[in-house]
Structure 1
């Protein structure tokens, strides 16, 4: 039964650890993508330098705008040609006189949640030469929604698995108490306090929980390191975002696993002792 308790805590913590790591990576990728997210504010190509300066100051006046960068039509054409790589020859017929690319401002914002408000603000500057504003609206909304969903799902899963683990540890310690019921009764007759009787069982539960936590953390560490290395080589992350290294999460994961394991083991012991201490 002790082995069953340890295995149940190991299984629960592995599943919880996976979702904690998953949630941490979703948050990290979201923050990395948000830090690189930009609005494309397209402007007329015939604006003078003074008009561009006025428009730039208007864009920076918005409280959610972090920085702006002007990209001329010629620069936009050059960047587009470079992005085509081996197919860049398709643009050989275009030059400054017949350039199809519009000039624009790359506008960085403080938070993806404010991108729609900044877009509406920039569209309101059409009198200053703004022709259109573009950003990956569907991509941004999907990213934010997925981040919220992963956090809620992880929290619900932690509650469910905690109840399951607590129930298994409770029954394990309860069987131990039943096997030692005569000793417990004798200790009560000679005047031992409830906490004096309860302490060894709580320590046993805490030990089972801590042992399960250490085993689970070792399995999570080896598994995550291998999987993260594969992902970085085989999967193309959005906007060159990277996964969180296990070394950066080791300390909080260790604390989480130990606290969780010891708490579940101790609580299971406390609840299972009630019947024998009330008799």
Structure 2
């Protein structure tokens, strides 16, 4: 009998807490909407930066994995030099594959890449070919590119002219990726402070309007956590609702972005954007947790003043 009475008291208390939470949101609907919109705005901006950063890292990794070294031979090289360079490159443990591209093959490939302007190279043939023969070298890891380049540059006495692998392109992508990561963290901090501040003031107004009720509850012996809980639930609900709205907008926007990029943008080295199936799950969890934490903390700080009064 006593156990049933305790359960009844517990459920009555929960019902009272949720009722107070709903009434508080209804009474302060304008500030509640402002709180939700602040969380939505913060998470949309943050979500855009997170998606941008993840895709930039994804593209950088794809570009790095597709990178090849070009070991260009001197204009006049002998077959012995060609064999010697090939043997030396194959002997390097970091090299996984080698193919040779002759001057004629290089000219033909370059001409094909010009499409409608290929006629500009009509006057060139094997007798006046301006292209250089080269070895196309694949490496085991992108991190090996620099060391293999240095190794290949040491073969100049055997007919190597110069070595290229587009390191400037990769370095620029990596530098920009690091910058976007730092910017994302800064924006997260700024938007979090703004969201906490707005939710803090929303709950503070509610506490001020109910200050006498809070005083009576304290007087009759209600615990601090019994008084806090409706306000914390209110902030949590506002943060959670803002996160769900933001996630819906981010998800819809990302699908449109993928469709646009696929049809209109020429991605480097056939890279593509990260699949929504891979990125949306973690972002949804992050948005939900972020919204709940921001809402709960904003409420927790705002009510302390009234409980200590």
What TM-score do you get using the length of structure 1 for normalisation?
0.88
Choose which of 90, 96, 112 in structure 2 pairs with 1:57.
90
Give CA deviations for 1:19-68 in whole Å, capped at 9, x if unaligned: 1111111111111111111221113542347524422224x334xx4543
**What is the match of residue 173 of structure 1?**
203
**Are 1:247 and 2:280 counterparts?**
no
Deviation at 1:264, TM superposition (A): 0.2
Tell which deviates more after alignment, 32-41 or 68-77. Answer: 68-77
Question: How far, CA to CA, are the matches of 2:86 and 2:270 in structure 1?
Answer: 32
The Cα RMSD (Å) is 2.3
On the 8 A contact 1:8/1:168 being kept in 2, the answer is yes
**Number of residue equivalences:** 275
Gap regions ≥5 residues in structure 1: none
Question: How far, CA to CA, are the matches of 1:50 and 1:98 in structure 2?
Answer: 24
**What is the match of residue 34 of structure 2?**
4
Deviation at 1:165, TM superposition (A): 0.5
On the 8 A contact 2:90/2:98 being kept in 1, the answer is no
**Are 1:159 and 2:159 counterparts?**
no
Q: Secondary structure at the match of 2:79?
A: coil
1:151 to 1:112, Cα distance in 2 relative to 1, 3 A: farther
**What is the match of residue 141 of structure 1?**
171
**What is the match of residue 43 of structure 1?**
73
**Are 1:94 and 2:110 counterparts?**
no
Question: How far, CA to CA, are the matches of 2:145 and 2:96 in structure 1?
Answer: 12
**What is the match of residue 218 of structure 1?**
248
**What is the match of residue 15 of structure 2?**
none
Choose which of 291, 294, 300 in structure 2 pairs with 1:261.
291
Q: Secondary structure at the match of 1:70?
A: strand
Give CA deviations for 1:111-170 in whole Å, capped at 9, x if unaligned: 656544432232112234322112324322221211111111111110110011011111
Question: How far, CA to CA, are the matches of 1:110 and 1:276 in structure 2?
Answer: 64
Tell which deviates more after alignment, 182-191 or 152-161. Answer: 182-191
Gap regions ≥5 residues in structure 2: 1-30
On the 8 A contact 2:200/2:301 being kept in 1, the answer is yes
Larger Rg: 2
**What is the match of residue 46 of structure 2?**
16
Tell which deviates more after alignment, 108-117 or 29-38. Answer: 108-117
On the 8 A contact 2:89/2:152 being kept in 1, the answer is no
